[in-house]
A and B are shown apart, each in its own frame.
Chain A
Amino acid sequence: MAKKILIVDDEVHIKMLLEQTLEELEDEYDVELFTASDGEEGLAFIRGEHPDLVFLDIMMPKMNGYEVCRIVMEDEGLRDVKIILLTAKGQEVDRKQGLELGAKMYMTKPFDPDEILKVSKDMLGL
């Protein structure tokens, strides 16, 4: 069964960057990429499709990343979804908050595409 990666970011360019970076995985492995443009859309996708890995931006309209992360982690059925928080905020408080909510990782923008690839492979066990 194909592994599903969801990218949730309101910034079109960041979404594109992540998509294009992760396309490499799609070519090599059995991986499917999905995107969402805000928190609500992302949450709806997670609930419907149960992706394996989610790149979740924190500052987003409608519902922020923390909120999405909290709801997902509180849901017994979704707890195994691995969430990587992406943020431009580098403050330690944010980092702590994200990890306390159950996110697996916290990545600060700007990030290195290679790092994204490496982390994704680790998380998906590829």
Chain B
Amino acid sequence: MRSLSIFKKTGILAVVLFGVVALLTSALAAYMLHDRMVAEYVSKGTAIAQSIAGASQDILLNRDAATVQAMIDQYLEIEGVAYVFVRDADRIVVSHTFVPEMPARLATLAEPEDGVRVVGMTVESLGRVIDVGAPVLAGVAGYVHVGMSKELIMRYFWATVIRMQALLFVALLVCVGVLFVVTRRISRPLQQLTEYADRLASRDFTADIELTSRDEVGHLGRTMRAMARELARLFTDMESEVNKATGELREHMVYLSAIIDNLADGLLVVSPTGAVSVVNPAMREFFGLGDKDYSGFSAADVFPVEVSDLARAIRSCEGVIQSAEIPLAEGRIGMAVGSSIMVAAPVARCLGGVVLVRDVTREKALDQLKTDFISTVSHELRTPMTSILGFARLIGKKLDSAVLPALGDNPEARRVAVQVADNVDIIVTEARRLTDLINDVLDIAKMEAGKIVWHDRAVFMGDVMHQAADATRGLWSAKGIEVVIEMEDDLPPVRGDHSRLVQVLVNLISNAVKFAPRGPVTCRAHLDRADVLVSVADHGPGIPASAMDEIFDKFKQVGDTLTEKPSGTGLGLPICRQIVERHGGRIWVESEVGEGSVFFFTIPALVARAGTGDIDDACRAMLPEPDSAMLMRLPEERNLPPLILVVDDDPILGAYFTELFEGNGFRVMVAADGEQAVVMARDHMPSLITMDLMMPGMDGRTAIRCLRHNPFTRHIPVLVLSALSDTATPGCDLSLTKPVDDRRLVEVVRALLLRKDVRHSCLVLGDLDDVTVEGLTVFCPDDTTFCPPQRIWSHVERGFRGLVLIPAELAEGIDVDLLARVPGVTVIIMPARTGRGKTI
């Protein structure tokens, strides 16, 4: 009981305090009483002694002992008097009140000489006494001694103390009683408060307390109640906050899982160990998994190998995003994309991987449909066009060859026949236009659908311009307009599809010729920063500024289509734009109405231009002198297998590649750095160069720039073998990332060598400038390679089959007869040129 404990504490305290007070009080009182009584007894004894001394002078002098005895016996009656004895001057006891005799201690007692003397002593049988001695007649008559009993004083003393203690004890009892009652009155509300606090502590905020008192306890109670209410409110608030947050969280979870469940794409989450953690319904459907819970299963046990392989590749967060086409249930096709789940904070760790599978069956089907459509339209339109065009031409021919001669001199019939012939010509012209339109529409449709196969390689814009000019010869020569080609020397090649770039220029030149009333049409090409800029300028009617952008849109031609009959399909420029933009270039027009138009397009150059500071000094120092004594240094390569120049600073790798290539029937040379590579390439003319990028001294990229800059090494295919897989290396033909698989490397090398020699069906000796281009494109509509005369045999050895065009002035240095006997090789000697006319 808490209240009793308070009572006990206060009770003990009260008793101790009371006891101390009582003891001190009684001790003080007893001490004062003792003092007072001793003083009173001394004075009483003194009075008695003096009274006896006064009355006994004569008697003593008379030695009347009996009288003295009678007198002192009287005094013995007085309270406190223990004894009385009288001695004479000779200190002989005259009389005394002792029975039976006087104690020895008193007999030896000294006598007072002058006045009264008080002495305390202890006497046997009497206890402690106070002896008061007084002389009679200054000792002449004798001495009187009165003994006052101190024992009596002590008796009073103790009686007083005991009474006092008893009284105080009673008072103490009363006090304790009162204390008990008071503590109880205080502790009851305290106990109630305690119980109240206990209930609050057990979060029973419904508890209440009755408070009537206005004292501290009441105040405390009220404070507690206010506190409890505040607590209850806080608690409720907090609870509702928590509930709200939990609700929101739950709602969010529901939202997220609803999203996952309703994804049209299949979702699979795997842990870093490869265990399945989430599979959404779409994924179940894709793989026919049913409703079973697959959590914790190994992905390899649940999914086909394509998916589990993907999951394995991404789950440890080591790879990059991967994708794969995978077969789904019911013969559908899915595109799976896998990515890793990384958490950055608080500590970066891998949570596994996510595989998303999209059903691309429809897209695939659409894609196929598009291809089929293009193919079908192409077939369905072209077949009737063939008949229309073909028969119209046949009719025309037969009119000329059979009908007209048969008509004889009948003027009416001849007039009609000529009219018919004109009409047939119109049919032919219009049918041709329609055919062009169909071709253009299909072209642009194919480009937009990404159905064009682009044959990218290094392309020299000069070739392109000449080829385009030649292809449009029919148009401009018929109209009497000249086409002029102006080209900057040393123009670097661009990477692109040769025939498509020719198509762009053919379009631009034929447009210019079509619209311009007079010539010339000028084609220019020069390097503009990193791009090759080509322009086609005419003296046509010009294009108003408002139409300059529109003309590159489909089916837009300048002018009113109602009043001015459009010629052409209106698709030429859009096709040009598609091709140019695909090459990473830009096409635009600048024009002034009445003055003419200039069409421009850019194609990024493959290598930087010489002498612009882009080529290192080291590289420039290695460039051949302008006169080509170079040619004389070229070694004879007849009957030798292709030479491969391996460029690698690591001697072990160099030896390894040497062994590999020699094992595959090639000749090999090794260069340890870029500088050495450039020199060796210049001196030995390898068929192919494999190039490491990271090398001391001149690095691989610079070496490639040097090689491409040199007209004699420009054509050599360069295969980059590098540990860096970051960016494409400008100027190289192909790049492989180390480590390279042996077989693949040899395959790639063969393909590069083969592509060079087989695809080029025309081989022209000398440089473009040495050859009159006239007629060249007739023989070589597609790929043309220019090569120095000494190189012809190495080309043939490496399997070149096709036309070899030899300018007459170079023919003497070559065994033409032998060359012509090579199966599949046709030799054409071109007439000696009459001038270096670039105009054709």
Interface residues of A (CB under 8 A from B): 11, 13-14, 17, 20-21, 59, 87-93, 108-114
Contacts and interface: CB of A to CB of B under 8 A. Distances in A.
B386 A14 contact: yes
Contacts of A89: 375, 378-379
Contacts of A88: 378-383, 386
Looking at A90, A109, A110, the one whose CB has the most chain B CB atoms below 10 A away is: A110
B383 A17 contact: no
A110 B390 contact: yes
Interface stretch (B29-37, B391-399, B516-524): B391-399
Given A109-B382, A109-B385, A111-B386, A92 B453 contact: yes
B83 to A, nearest CB: 163
Nearest to A10: B383
Given A90-B439, A92-B453, A109 B383 contact: yes
B382 A113 contact: no
Contacts of B435: 110
Chain B, interface residues (CB within 8 Å), range: 20 to 34
B378 A110 contact: no
B389 interface: yes
12 contacts: A11-B383, A13-B384, A13-B391, A17-B391, A87-B379, A88-B381, A88-B383, A90-B442, A91-B451, A109-B385, A110-B386, A113-B393
A93 B451 CA distance: 10
Nearest to B382: A88
A21 B389 CA distance: 12
A109 B442 contact: no
Given A59-B379, A88-B383, 5 more contacts: A88-B381, A90-B439, A110-B382, A110-B389, A112-B390
Contacts of B390: 14, 17, 21, 110-113
A112 B385 CA distance: 11
Contacts of B202: none
Nearest to B379: A88
A109 B375 contact: no
B387 interface: yes
A13 B392 CA distance: 13
Contacts of B391: 13, 17, 20
Contacts of B387: 11, 13-14, 17
A11 B380 CA distance: 11
A98 to B, nearest CB: 15
Contacts of B389: 110, 112
B820 to A, nearest CB: 19
A21 B397 CA distance: 10
A103 B375 CA distance: 21
Nearest to B451: A91
A90 B134 CA distance: 172
A36 to B, nearest CB: 17
Interface in B396-451: 397, 431, 435, 439, 442, 446, 451
Given A14-B386, A14-B387, A90-B439, A21 B379 contact: no
Contacts of B453: 92-93
B693 to A, nearest CB: 34
B383 A91 contact: no
A91 to B, nearest CB: 7
Looking at B383, B397, B453, the one whose CB has the most chain A CB atoms below 10 A away is: B383
Nearest to B380: A88
A20 B383 contact: no
Contacts of B374: 91
A88 B384 CA distance: 10
A1 to B, nearest CB: 27
A92 B499 CA distance: 12
Contacts of A59: 379
Contacts of B383: 11, 14, 88, 109
A17 B383 CA distance: 11
A113 B397 contact: yes
Contacts of A111: 386, 390
A90 B394 contact: no
A89 B379 CA distance: 6
Contacts of B388: 110
A85 B498 CA distance: 25
A91 B370 CA distance: 14
A17 B389 CA distance: 10
Contact of A91 (B375, B381, B394): B375
A89 B439 CA distance: 11
Contacts of B380: 88
Closest 5 CB pairs of A and B: A88-B382, A110-B386, A88-B379, A17-B390, A13-B387
Contact of A20 (B375, B384, B394): B394
Contacts of A90: 378, 382, 439, 442
A114 B428 CA distance: 13
B403 to A, nearest CB: 15
Contacts of A92: 453
B373 to A, nearest CB: 12
A21 B381 CA distance: 21
Contacts of A14: 383, 386-387, 390
B448 to A, nearest CB: 15
A113 B375 contact: no
Contacts of B378: 88-91
Contacts of B451: 91
A21 B385 contact: no
A87 to B, nearest CB: 8
Nearest to A23: B394
B381 to A, nearest CB: 8
Looking at B375, B385, B388, B435, the one whose CB has the most chain A CB atoms below 10 A away is: B375
